């Protein structure tokens, strides 16, 4: 397993709409394994392939306490989302150190393939539902900061660009 580099906002590649996976094969299974390793290494609870500059519809998630219940969603499709929503504080591995409130459905139902190509239906609520919605946004080229006001978004962009320039000089 390899640790993959994670794109950081405002990298324009984060806005690429991911293409469906044509076939779940060894290449996709390796991508899933590398994404698990990358997610755990970065202390994350979810990661979309878009974030590691692979523009295919692949997401990995593990919201378990023990960090031992990972699952992959390949070509995820939202079947249902509750009308009830909740404002929750979100962060993102592509927007390091930034957390802000985003309104999300409290429960969802998703159809996807697993890493073996088997179709599965996932019903999720609470934090798990929020995480899946967040990662599926990445597949559509959307980063959570786009839910924020233009003023907040510009402040975040300026702060992260400044940090990136300082890191390059170091």
User: For residues 5 and 1, what is the distance between their CA atoms, to the nearest angstrom?
Assistant: 13
Report the b/e string of 69-107 with b at 16+ CB within 10 A.
Answer: ebbbbbbbeeeebeeeebeeebebbbbeebebebebbbb
Instruction: Look up 135 and say whether it is catalytic.
Output: yes
Q: Tell me the whole-structure pTM to 2 decimals.
A: 0.95
Domain residue limits at 100 = 10-164
The predicted pLDDT at position 1 comes to 83
Q: How many residues does the chain have?
A: 170
Q: What is the CATH number of the domain that holds 106?
A: 3.90.45.10
User: For residues 18 and 43, what is the distance between their CA atoms, to the nearest angstrom?
Assistant: 24
The predicted pLDDT at position 51 comes to 98
Q: How many CA atoms lie within 13 A of 145 on its CB side?
A: 25
Question: Would the annotation count 55 as a binding residue?
Answer: no
The H or E element containing residue 155 is: helix 150-169
Q: One digit per residue, pLDDT tens: the chain, 170 residues?
A: 899 999 999 999 999 999 999 999 999 999 999 999 999 999 999 999 999 999 999 999 999 999 999 999 999 999 999 999 999 999 999 999 999 999 999 999 999 999 999 999 999 999 999 999 999 999 999 999 999 999 999 999 999 999 989 988 88
- Give me the number of domains the chain comprises: 1
Question: Would the annotation count 92 as a binding residue?
Answer: yes
Active-site residue among 56, 135, 146, 168? Answer: 135
The predicted pLDDT at position 170 comes to 81
In a domain, 2, yes or no: no
In a domain, 1, yes or no: no
């Amino acid at each position: 397993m390899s640790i993959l580099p994670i794109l950081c906002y405002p990298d324009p590649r984060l806005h690429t709409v991911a293409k469906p996976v044509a076939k779940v094969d060894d290449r996709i299974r390796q991508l899933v394994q590398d994404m698990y390793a990358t997610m755990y290494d970065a202390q994350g609870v979810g990661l979309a392939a878009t974030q590691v500059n692979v523009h295919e519809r692949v997401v990995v998630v593990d919201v378990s306490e023990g960090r031992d219940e990972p699952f992959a969603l390949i070509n995820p499709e939202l079947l249902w989302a509750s009308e009830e929503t909740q404002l929750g504080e979100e962060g993102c591995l592509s927007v390091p150190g930034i957390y802000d409130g985003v309104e999300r459905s409290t429960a969802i139902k998703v159809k996807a393939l697993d890493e073996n190509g088997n179709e599965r239906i996932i019903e999720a609520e609470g934090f798990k539902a929020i995480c899946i919605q967040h990662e599926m946004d990445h597949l559509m080229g959307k980063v959570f900061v786009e839910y924020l006001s233009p003023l907040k978004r510009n402040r975040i962009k300026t702060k992260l660009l400044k940090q990136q320039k300082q890191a390059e000089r170091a």
